[in-house]
């Protein structure tokens, strides 16, 4: 099994090392990831600039390819150029911080996996619901488990899996739940500040503690101590609204 791994926290992040270690037991792992943090890049791709690729080492050993691009760039470049064989699986993560609700739109982690799905490869995004003192072991073990399920079963064309793992000890995790995306997002605002030369700048800030009454959502599953597995797809058409919009007679 050929496995391509990427992330948006950068190739030297802890989460991608834990993921690669867990998946190495299942097949031949190729890591192609951004050379630094690319969080919140969404599904950006790099058109106006060239991409550089360098070998990245960890603990003295070759680990993978660090690129100057986004997660989506990494997956395109890996599949179209760097890998000799097409991967059987693309896994993006393990992200520091959950990717639930509308926030998945901003997520470089999810977009890495999305790019895999658009290129016809079974794809998975994995995130851990914490920014502090992460223990990736449960999320890494679960990534291997779900990868095995993806090998056995079949995803519909264009559909990928978005997995979020609660940041609690593995023994406390209650299990995995198939969920839908929560219809909630960040509450964000801007700090207006002055730089040392007295010039104004703005810095985005925000929190993600929305109320969500939807008990089947990714957000509430993780809050309740479950791993959430949300199947997502990218036909964004609001089919339910088409007939009404036709009646607008524009």
Q: Report the site for a second copy in 189-228 (rule: CB under 8 A).
A: 189-190, 192-193, 195, 199-204
DSSP-assigned states of every residue in 100-155: -GGGGGG-HHHHHHHHHHHTT--EEEEEES-SSS---HHHHHHHHHHHHHHHHS-P
Beta strands at 61-67 and 53-58: parallel, antiparallel or unpaired: antiparallel
Residue closer to a second copy, measured from CB, 60 or 196: 196
Which member of 26, 53, 168, 173 binds a second copy (CB under 8 A)?
Answer: 53
Relative orientation angle of helices 137-152 and 14-23, to the nearest 10 degrees: 40
Which member of 21, 51, 83, 168 binds a second copy (CB under 8 A)?
Answer: 51
Q: Determine the interface stretch with a second copy among 12-20, 122-130, 131-139, 183-191 (rule: CB under 8 A).
A: 183-191
What pairs with residue 55 in β-bridges? 65
Q: How many residues bind a second copy (CB under 8 A)?
A: 73
Which member of 180, 208, 210, 223 binds a second copy (CB under 8 A)?
Answer: 180
CA distance 114 to 41: 13
85 binds a second copy (CB under 8 A): no
Residue closer to a second copy, measured from CB, 3 or 124: 124
114 binds a second copy (CB under 8 A): yes
């Amino acid at each position: 099994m050929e496995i391509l791994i990427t992330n948006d926290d950068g190739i030297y992040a802890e989460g991608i090392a834990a993921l690669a270690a867990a998946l190495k037991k299942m097949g031949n792992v190729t890591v192609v990831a951004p050379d630094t943090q690319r969080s919140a890049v969404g599904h950006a791709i790099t058109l106006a600039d060239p991409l550089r690729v360098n070998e990245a080492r960890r603990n003295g050993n070759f680990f993978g390819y660090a690129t100057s691009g986004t997660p989506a760039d990494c997956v395109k470049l890996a599949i179209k150029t760097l890998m000799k064989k097409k991967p059987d699986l693309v896994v993006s993560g393990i992200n520091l911080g959950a990717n639930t609700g509308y926030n998945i739109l901003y997520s470089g982690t999810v977009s890495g996996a999305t790019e895999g799905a658009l290129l016809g490869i079974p794809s998975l995004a994995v995130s851990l619901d914490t920014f502090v003192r992460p223990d990736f072991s449960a999320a890494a073990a679960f990534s291997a488990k779900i990868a095995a399920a993806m090998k056995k079963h079949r995803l519909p064309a264009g559909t990928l899996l978005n997995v979020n793992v609660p940041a609690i000890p593995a023994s406390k995790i209650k299990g995995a739940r198939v969920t839908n995306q929560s219809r909630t997002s960040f509450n964000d605002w801007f700090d207006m500040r002055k730089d040392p030369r007295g010039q104004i700048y703005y810095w985005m800030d925000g929190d993600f503690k929305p109320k969500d009454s939807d008990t089947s959502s990714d957000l509430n599953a993780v809050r309740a101590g479950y791993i959430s597995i949300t199947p997502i797809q990218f036909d964004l058409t609001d089919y339910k609204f088409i007939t009404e919009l036709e009646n607008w007679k524009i």
